[in-house]
Structure 1
Amino acid sequence: MKFSFKNDYSEGCHPKILEALSKYNLDQQNGYGLDIYSENAANIIKEKSNSPDSKVHFVNGGTQANLIIISSILKPHESVISAHTGHIFTNETGAIEATGHKVHGVETLDGKLRPKDIQSILDVHTNIPHQVKQKLVYISNSTEVGTIYTKKELEELSQFCKEKNLYLFMDGARLGHALTAQSNNITWEDIAKLTDVYYLGGTKNGALLGEAIVINNKVLQEEFGFHLKQKGAMLAKGRLLGIQFQELLKDDLYWDLAKHANTQAMKIKEAFKEIEAEFLAETDTNQIFPILENSKIEKLSEHFDFYIWKKINDEKSAIRIITSWATYNAVVENFCNEILKLK
């Protein structure tokens, strides 16, 4: 069987999570996220992000989180702005549009939005009330092409959104990888201060499933529970999610796993650099996008699975390589050796 570098959720979960789920299995607890494990995990999140007034809710996955957050914020005539690579724009089967809200996709080179990108959408939607009204800005960190925001970029974006009366929402499916990247200068506390809402992804960083939605803006906290229940996200056995985040966060296991994934990806990146491969984007998270001749891609695919991300021209394509919390050293060394043979 080929080893897969297609995603960072091919494995099940970290063993500590399985141990905890078994250990607490017969404990009787309140349902719908009111169990002691979910409450403890929520308190850890608020304490470690220095945001005691935030509200934390646990849901199954990223698409569910995006759909519920965005549909809870927007009125029927309001829309959301995203980079054209944003998950809500490319990979959620029109989930946001299905709730009646337009997604404006903005072309960017690195998957990141900047104030000028947002302004370009605002400028062509001034015919009020005949056009939809932009109310929310959606960003991902790390982005879908592995890049991360700097503190300066996030501060400028946050300030711009406040000036334009827009909410700022950060998709944190890979937030652990962003905050443990070598070039990162943003803290968890910064995220809590500079966004109205974000979520901390577990599915792609050691959990069986689950994302922790963190609502920082008090206006958006009101009645959010109704949206969770209405859209099927309020689990009767909410403990399933709470236990996982409790285990991931109590001893900083979450950050250790993300850093491991980043480290493994950077080893592979060095091998590609050694054969003088170019990259679609400059990243130091767990996603890399080397550009190779199609013949070399075919050679690598004989032993490993990965996605061909983008056609560059008739001779070359960019592939996507993703490492996970469980990607072990031996397979990385094997992959690097195969890469070096392409030189």
Structure 2
Amino acid sequence: MYSFKNDYSEGAHPRILDKLIETNLIQQPGYGEDEYAKEAKAIIKRKIANELASVYFLSGGTQTNLLVLSFLLRVHEAVISAKTGHIYANETGAIEATGHKVISIDTINGKLTPDDIIKTLNEHALAPHVVKPRIVYISNSTEIGTIYTLLELQALYGCCQENHLLLYLDGARLGHALTAANNDLSLSDLGKYCDVFYIGGTKNGALLGEAVIFNKPELAMDFEYAVKQKGALLAKGRVLSVQFLELFKDNLYFQLAQKANSYAMQIAKAIKEKGYSFLTDSTTNQLFPILPKSLIQVLSQKYQFYIWKEIDHDYAAIRLITSWATEEEQVVNFIDDLKTFR
């Protein structure tokens, strides 16, 4: 059985493992004060074109979302998210457990718009009897594989600025968004048009790790206290920083994401040629094809994937994900099995 269930089934890219071994016995200060962290942070600041940014390395996406949002929100404040957003749909109520409401919005493509934000603000105008929206949470790529354009991000950020909101971008699959064929965003754009965002390593070649960036240093004041208090400040922080240094000292981070996207698009092309449609218009490494249940049953004998949504008696949508480590042979095999189905 070959897995297309996620993009973290494998360990880490060999270059990262080699770098961890190479630096293994070199003594370093703990708790993120190591020389690798300083170098990796400097590289990231240059790539986002914001030398004033504050960068922190954390171990996982849910942890990052929990720490950032609970740190920035006051006791009466809430966060706005698409219903497909990870903080609403897939984090076991982590944000709500801190006492903050997640205000969910139905979307067609997993993306929020300024109109969504204004409508939500109007629905929460009865102060002090309702929670006060303070942060807009978006994902890029989204949980259903779509991406934001530069104009869309600028419009959202402008709306947030006008309405005294903060814009926070979940970048668990940011590499895949930035290397999508139809993408026009860059890391430097994120340095301008978000208040906080993070660069996901876990789903793009790292053993684990996310780099969270506060574009405005005043927002990050005392964040390290929250990181420590919540148990996220690792004594061996070098394990995280070495990985981001290796991913960003050249273009490895983007090369790995591009590979995953390329294989996904090959599969998408074959699915379209068979005449099947998709639940979402994804240009990244997540695909949601709508297939006959009889075909799904055949494919599930050789491949692992999620059955995402029941469509009708005969059809269902599945989720296929390719990764930095996806084997070309398995992509070819999957396409061949798809083509030979009658």
Report the TM-score when normalising by structure 2: 0.99
Q: Counterpart in 2 of 1:199?
A: 198
Q: What are the superposed Cα offsets for residues 169-219 of structure 1, whole Å, 9 maximum, x if unpaired?
A: 000000000000000001110011000000000000000000000110233
Q: Which moved more, 1:116-125 or 1:54-63?
A: 116-125
Partner amino acid for 2:274? Answer: I
Q: Distance in 2 between matches of 1:270 and 1:129?
A: 52
Q: What are the superposed Cα offsets for residues 267-319 of structure 1, whole Å, 9 maximum, x if unpaired?
A: 10011011111001111110111001111111111110000111112221110
Report the alpha carbon displacement of residue 244 of structure 1 after superposing the two structures with TM. Answer: 0.4
Q: Counterpart in 2 of 1:44?
A: 43
Q: Counterpart in 2 of 1:100?
A: 99
Q: Counterpart in 1 of 2:328?
A: 329
Partner amino acid for 1:98? Answer: A
Q: How many residues align?
A: 342
The 5 Å alignment of 1:127-276 reads: 127-276=126-275
Identity of aligned residues (%): 54
Partner amino acid for 2:124? Answer: H
Q: Distance in 2 between matches of 1:26 and 1:125?
A: 55
Cα RMSD of the aligned pairs, angstroms, is 0.7
Q: Distance in 1 between matches of 2:151 and 2:163?
A: 18
Q: Counterpart in 2 of 1:67?
A: 66
Q: What are the superposed Cα offsets for residues 7-43 of structure 1, whole Å, 9 maximum, x if unpaired?
A: 0000000001111111111111111101000111111
Moved over 4 A (4+): none
Partner amino acid for 2:107? Answer: T
Q: Distance in 2 between matches of 1:115 and 1:182?
A: 25
- Report the secondary structure of 2:243's partner residue: helix
Q: Counterpart in 2 of 1:314?
A: 313
Q: Distance in 1 between matches of 2:321 and 2:302?
A: 16
Report the TM-score when normalising by structure 1: 0.99
Report the alpha carbon displacement of residue 129 of structure 1 after superposing the two structures with TM. Answer: 0.6
- Report the secondary structure of 1:200's partner residue: strand
Partner amino acid for 1:221? Answer: A
What runs of 5+ residues in structure 2 fail to find an aligned partner?
A: none
Q: Distance in 1 between matches of 2:93 and 2:216?
A: 26
Q: Distance in 1 between matches of 2:108 and 2:123?
A: 21
Q: Distance in 2 between matches of 1:110 and 1:272?
A: 20
Q: Distance in 2 between matches of 1:315 and 1:190?
A: 44
Partner amino acid for 1:297? Answer: I
Partner amino acid for 1:38? Answer: A
Q: Distance in 2 between matches of 1:294 and 1:105?
A: 31
Q: Distance in 1 between matches of 2:78 and 2:311?
A: 32
Q: Distance in 2 between matches of 1:119 and 1:10?
A: 40
Whether the aligned pair in 2 keeps the contact of 1:82 and 1:106 (CA below 8 Å) is yes
Q: Counterpart in 2 of 1:305?
A: 304
Whether the aligned pair in 2 keeps the contact of 1:275 and 1:342 (CA below 8 Å) is no
Q: What are the superposed Cα offsets for residues 24-65 of structure 1, whole Å, 9 maximum, x if unpaired?
A: 111111111010001111111001111100010000000000
Report the alpha carbon displacement of residue 117 of structure 1 after superposing the two structures with TM. Answer: 1.1
